[in-house]
Structure 1
Amino acid sequence: MTEHRAQFDFSIGFANGGGLDGHGFRLDLPSADLDEHAIGRLLVAHLGLALVRDVRLTDLRIVEEPHRGSRGVDVPASGRAARVVDLSHRIRAGLVTYPGLPAPVIRPHLTREASRERYAPGTEFAMDVIELIGNTGTYLDSPYHRYADGADLAGLRLETLVGLPAEVFHLTDAWSPNERGIGAAAVADRGVRGAAVLLHTGWDRHFGTPEYGRGAPFLTEDGARHLIEQGVALVGIDSLNIDDVESGGERPAHTLLLGAGVHVVEHLTGLGDLPPRGARFTAAPPAVEGFGTFPVRAFAEVPAG
């Protein structure tokens, strides 16, 4: 489905005095046939303004451009079946997810050849053993990962893991090698209560290479605080870690999010294939008691366009 955005300059006057001006502003549109007044109303909703007296738009252009997730702009569903987008890295023997952590080892418990002696002619099975650390591939952190008295994997409620509204923030241009932190300002333009906030940084392109472990983007402390205050249910990122692992031993994002009962999913991939909003996100680990982190098959259901 072709998506459209409006580009314009604006001037807003308030009933109680004062005004607000903006230049080169861009706003998601539910359709391309809206007039200036309708776009003005969307702008007011996006900015969350009250007591607005008048809105003037100039240099208005409608452009074909993917949506970025403007607050207050609802895009109608098509009614067609959803497509499913896989957001997980594949796990294989020897895979290095996080530098310094052990790679998975896969070995047979019962080979197909040996199983033929146990079953009827023509019937055979393979039974295998995998040894891996929980921090392998795309995985979810429960509060127990950080806190001894926090909920472990078996203690997580399924409704906090399955079918969450996905608010995807496309942030490939919001950080740089010198400014790797993603702060509150980058995720403050829409409501996220009860949602899975997915941070698309583009760092997943380095997964499985030495470059993946150095210079990765992360969520800052103030970014984590903001998301908690807004009532987020889960935060995921397509990067090495949700924290900065190169600035010492403190882990403020893990500490704050898991302390507030917010699940963390790291090493996602494919977030660039998701719309800013409208998808449903699922990342459910097995219910392992006394365990804090485990790989998930994370995916999103996206309404067909």
Structure 2
Amino acid sequence: MTDYRAVFDADIAFVNGGGLQTEGFRLDLPGHGLSEREIGELLVRHLGLAMVGTVTLTNLEIVEEAHKGSRGVSADARSGEGEAARRIEFVDLSHPIRAGLVTYPGLPAPTITPHLTREASREKYAPGTEFAMDVITMIGNTGTYLDSPYHRYADGGDLASLRLETLVGLPAEVFHLTDATGRGIPAEVFYDRDLAGAAVLLHTGWSSRFGTPAYADGAPFLTEAGARHLVAAGAVLVGIDSLNIDDVESGGQRPAHSILLEAGVHVVEHLTALDRLPPRGARFTAVPPRVEDFGTFPVRAFAEVPAAAG
């Protein structure tokens, strides 16, 4: 069987500044017909780079040459081993909901009104027994919430159709991007990870502005290319701790929502506390109620994180 290697010069820029250049780099290839983008992704995996913004290859040539053992990035780190991995810390990743909470500027805040007060309930129950029954009125886009395909597409699956195995205990691949120099999260950021079957969580740090006017201005987002890469990589869910997974300041286009939800990839927005998660090794859960003909609803999102050995 013939082995192939790529020979090229490379210019790699990082989203948090700085870069890396190579000349005459040689990289094992799994076959002959790879695109320049695919070779760039292999390069990032081989070098084990994180926070990559762009990869530019020049003077690219494919040659027949015996492989030298170019490495990728092992996915074994997801599973964890030993007693420490079995001891779990739960991390709440949801914003609390309260009456008057403004999640997204322009959308109505929730209201909470009593249906049966404790005082009134005393007339219905035995002495010493009382209950409160309240009514909450809110838009589905309140607090930390999940978008199903029905949110974007009339024929997409609604909340009641979502399979639990796509919502519960997903291996979490967390990308810590708080020092990124641009708002848009590019596809190249994800090149160093195996994302098949994962919940991809984008930690931008924007949740610190939640509930303030500053939350609505200049928020980070996932680029169209980034969304396409995550679908191709087999991600099951994508979450972000920002105002929207799309750039809401560029007009009415919503490419990230459109691409992800069309592919059946769930979207969770307005996460918080992602700084408490490791890049790998946690498990992510976000389950909405089974509401038919409804696309978006708040979730209690949380992560199970293996506790450090004491």
Does structure 2 conserve the Cα–Cα contact (< 8 Å) formed by 1:45 and 1:72? no
Q: 1:87 aligns with which of 93, 111, 135?
A: 93
Aligned counterpart, 2:68: 52
Helix, strand or coil for the counterpart of 2:160? helix
The CA deviation string for residues 141-192 of structure 1, in whole angstroms up to 9 with x for no partner, is 0000000000000011111001111000111112x3xx31001011221110
Aligned counterpart, 1:28: none
Q: Equivalent pairs: percent with the same residue?
A: 71
Question: What is the 5 A alignment of 1:29-108?
Answer: 46-47=45-46, 51-52=67-68, 71-72=73-74, 74-75=76-77, 76-77=80-81, 78-108=84-114
Q: 1:199 aligns with which of 199, 202, 205?
A: 202
**Match of 2:73, as an amino acid?**
R
Worse overlay, 44-53 or 115-124: 44-53
Does structure 2 conserve the Cα–Cα contact (< 8 Å) formed by 1:15 and 1:53? no
Aligned counterpart, 1:147: 153
Q: 1:209 aligns with which of 203, 207, 212?
A: 212
The CA deviation string for residues 238-268 of structure 1, in whole angstroms up to 9 with x for no partner, is 0000000000000000000000000000000
Helix, strand or coil for the counterpart of 1:85? strand
Aligned counterpart, 2:243: 240
The 1:145/1:122 distance shift into structure 2, 3 A limit, reads same
Question: What is the 5 A alignment of 1:148-187?
Answer: 148-174=154-180, 176=181, 179-187=182-190
The 1:245/1:143 distance shift into structure 2, 3 A limit, reads same
**Match of 1:195, as an amino acid?**
A
Does structure 1 conserve the Cα–Cα contact (< 8 Å) formed by 2:44 and 2:191? no
Aligned counterpart, 2:25: none
C-alpha separation in 2, matches of 1:20 and 1:52: 18
Equivalenced residues, count: 257
Helix, strand or coil for the counterpart of 2:129? coil
Q: Which runs of 5+ in 2 are unaligned?
A: 13-42, 49-65
Aligned counterpart, 1:67: none
Q: 2:223 aligns with which of 220, 223, 226?
A: 220
C-alpha separation in 2, matches of 1:99 and 1:304: 37
Q: Which runs of 5+ in 1 are unaligned?
A: 1-13, 24-43, 56-69
What is the TM-score normalised by the length of structure 2? 0.77
C-alpha separation in 2, matches of 1:244 and 1:81: 39
Does structure 2 conserve the Cα–Cα contact (< 8 Å) formed by 1:15 and 1:52? no
Aligned counterpart, 2:138: 132
Q: 2:260 aligns with which of 233, 252, 257?
A: 257
Helix, strand or coil for the counterpart of 1:154? helix
Does structure 1 conserve the Cα–Cα contact (< 8 Å) formed by 2:147 and 2:268? yes
The 1:21/1:198 distance shift into structure 2, 3 A limit, reads same
Helix, strand or coil for the counterpart of 2:153? coil
C-alpha separation in 1, matches of 2:106 and 2:118: 34
The 1:167/1:94 distance shift into structure 2, 3 A limit, reads same
**Match of 1:146, as an amino acid?**
R
The 1:171/1:155 distance shift into structure 2, 3 A limit, reads same
The 1:123/1:256 distance shift into structure 2, 3 A limit, reads same
Aligned counterpart, 2:291: 288
Q: Offset at 1:74?
A: 4.0
The CA deviation string for residues 73-123 of structure 1, in whole angstroms up to 9 with x for no partner, is 644432442110000000000000000000000011000000000000000
Q: 2:122 aligns with which of 116, 138, 147?
A: 116
What is the TM-score normalised by the length of structure 1? 0.78
